[in-house]
């Protein structure tokens, strides 16, 4: 069933918090199982398996996809301009598989809370779920999230003490200069040049701040500035420089 779950979910990728079709699919699977289902946020799905224990183990999967046009040729590829390019279809499939595995069991040591979270890529669905108080009714012993690593051997589970993966922190930075014609650049202040120096210096500073044994990640996703080659005044009232996907 895991393969079928992934194929089905791969065909309906959705962005951010707008994961209605995905949530509907998850609910359609869970409603056949011995669990209670709730939606503390729109398009977020929570499944609780009550085994009569005092403590609960929680497991979390992300739901959202990326705005990437899929170019694969297999039959279950997405066709809506989005794609599960980060493996969230696999994560949901594993959590649904776990739900099927534990449903109706009598020998579990803990209750189980399964969390299907939208908005992992953006805008931060985990915090929204925490703010909604999803853990309040339960005595949570531990919370597990997971991610697919295609370069590991099949069936191998990898973990480590402490921090294992970077936390994403999205930034949008505007560098505002004073516009002028390209032939009279001394009359203005070049925001594009300043922004390029920011990118360059940040990359250099990253290498200086961390040793090779410290995991770190700095990524510049989008860089935009104006739309006129000659820098006409009316086109350069505000040059905008964007930084996306910054995480350490």
In this structure, of 13-27, 59-73, 112-126, 189-203, the range with the lowest mean pLDDT score is: 189-203
pLDDT of residue 159: 86
What pLDDT is recorded for position 110? 98
Q: Is 43 exposed, middle or buried (0-12, 13-18, 19+ CB in 10 A)?
A: buried
Confidence of residue 47 (pLDDT cuts 50, 70, 90): very high
- What mean pLDDT do residues 28-38 have? 97
- All structural domains of the chain, each given as residue ranges with its CATH number in brackets, are 2-145 (3.40.630.10), 182-247 (no CATH)
Task: Report which of 38, 31, 13, 21 is spatially closest to residue 96, judged by C-alpha positions.
Answer: 31
pLDDT at 193: 86
Mean pLDDT of the chain: 87
Q: Where are the alpha helices (DSSP H) in 31-65?
A: none
Q: What is the pLDDT of residues 81-136, one digit of tens each?
A: 999 999 999 999 999 999 999 999 999 999 999 999 999 988 889 999 999 999 99
pLDDT confidence of 231, banded at 50, 70, 90? low
Span 131-188, pLDDT tens digits: 999 999 999 999 998 888 888 898 898 888 777 776 667 778 888 888 777 677 678 8
pLDDT (0 to 100) of residue 242: 43
Whole-angstrom Cα distance, residue 5 to residue 26?
9
Segment 44-65 mean pLDDT? 97
Is 227 among the catalytic positions? no
Selecting among 62, 64, 120, 190, the annotated active-site residue is 62
Q: In sequence order, which residues have a C-beta less than 8 Å from that of residue 155 and are 6 or more positions away?
A: none
- Sign of the torsion angle spanned by Cα atoms 216, 145, 76, 149: positive
Query: Taking the model in full, what pTM does it have?
Result: 0.77
Stronger pLDDT, 165 or 49, i.e. the higher one: 49
Per-residue pLDDT at 243 exceeds 60: no
Looking at residue 167, its pLDDT comes to 66
Bridge partners, residue 169, by sequence: 246
Does residue 248 carry a pLDDT above 60? Answer: no
Residue 131 annotated to the active site = no
Choose, from 70, 89, 120, 121, the residue flagged as catalytic.
121
Look at 58-67, 128-137, 227-236 and tell me which has the smallest mean pLDDT: 227-236
Give me the pLDDT at residue 166, please. 67
What distance lies between CA 168 and its chain's CA centroid? 8
Q: State the Cα–Cα distance between residues 76 and 83, nearest whole angstrom.
A: 11
Q: Which of 7-16, 47-56, 134-143, 220-229 has the lowest mean pLDDT?
A: 220-229
In this predicted structure, the answer to whether residue 239 has a pLDDT above a threshold of 80 is no
């Amino acid at each position: 069933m895991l393969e079928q779950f992934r194929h089905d979910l791969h065909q309906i990728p959705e962005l951010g918090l707008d994961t209605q079709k995905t949530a509907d699919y998850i609910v359609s699977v869970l409603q056949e199982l011995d669990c209670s289902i709730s939606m503390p946020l729109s398009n977020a799905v929570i499944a609780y398996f009550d085994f009569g224990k005092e403590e609960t183990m929680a497991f979390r999967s992300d739901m959202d996809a990326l705005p990437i046009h899929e170019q694969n040729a297999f039959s279950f590829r997405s066709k809506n301009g989005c794609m599960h390019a980060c493996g969230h279809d696999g994560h949901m499939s594993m959590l649904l598989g776990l739900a099927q595995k534990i449903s109706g069991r009598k020998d579990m040591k803990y209750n189980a809370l399964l969390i299907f979270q939208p908005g992992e890529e953006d805008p931060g669905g985990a915090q929204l779920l925490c703010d909604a108080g999803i853990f309040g009714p339960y005595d949570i012993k531990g919370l597990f999230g997971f991610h697919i690593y295609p370069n590991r051997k099949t069936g191998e589970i990898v973990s480590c003490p402490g921090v294992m993966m970077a936390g994403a922190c999205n930034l949008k930075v505007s560098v505002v200069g004073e516009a002028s014609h390209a032939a009279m650049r001394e009359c203005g202040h070049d925001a594009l040049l300043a922004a390029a120096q920011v990118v360059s210096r940040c990359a250099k500073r990253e290498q200086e701040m961390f040793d090779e044994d410290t995991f770190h990640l700095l990524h510049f996703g989008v860089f935009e500035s104006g739309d006129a080659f000659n820098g006409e005044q009316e086109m350069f009232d505000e040059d905008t420089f964007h930084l996306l996907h910054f995480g350490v």
